[in-house]
């Protein structure tokens, strides 16, 4: 059985804000005014390697900060 710990609403807001800020900084460092390569996703929208890196960063940060414990 898996039970997820339940952080308070304020803790969740803090985690979300800090994670979003850090992901934004990651994207800003990857920004290239000369342009960047992008590929099309299945829904025809564009995605860059920086987008995917930020997504991985956000998921990992949220998993670290909102752990699931095994019972």
Q: Residue 68 pLDDT more than 90?
A: no
State the Cα–Cα distance between residues 32 and 22, nearest whole angstrom. Answer: 18
pLDDT at 4 over 90: no
Rounded to whole angstroms, the Cα distance separating 51 from 38 reads: 9
The pTM (predicted TM-score) of the whole model is: 0.74
Residue 40 β-bridge partners: 46
The whole-angstrom separation of Cα 49 and Cα 26 is 12
CA distance 13 to 36: 32
Cα separation of 27 and 21, whole Å?
10
Break the chain into its structural domains and give their ranges: 2-70
Q: How far apart are the first and last CA of the chain?
A: 5
pLDDT, one tens digit per residue, over 13-57 is: 899 999 999 999 999 999 888 888 899 999 999 999 999 999 999
């Amino acid at each position: 059985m898996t039970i997820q710990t339940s952080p308070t609403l304020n803790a969740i807001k803090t985690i979300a804000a800090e994670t979003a800020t850090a992901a934004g900084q990651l994207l800003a460092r990857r920004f290239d005014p000369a342009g960047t390569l992008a590929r099309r996703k299945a829904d025809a929208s564009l995605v860059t390697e920086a987008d995917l890196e930020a997504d991985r960063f956000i998921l990992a940060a949220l998993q670290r900060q909102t752990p699931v414990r095994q019972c």
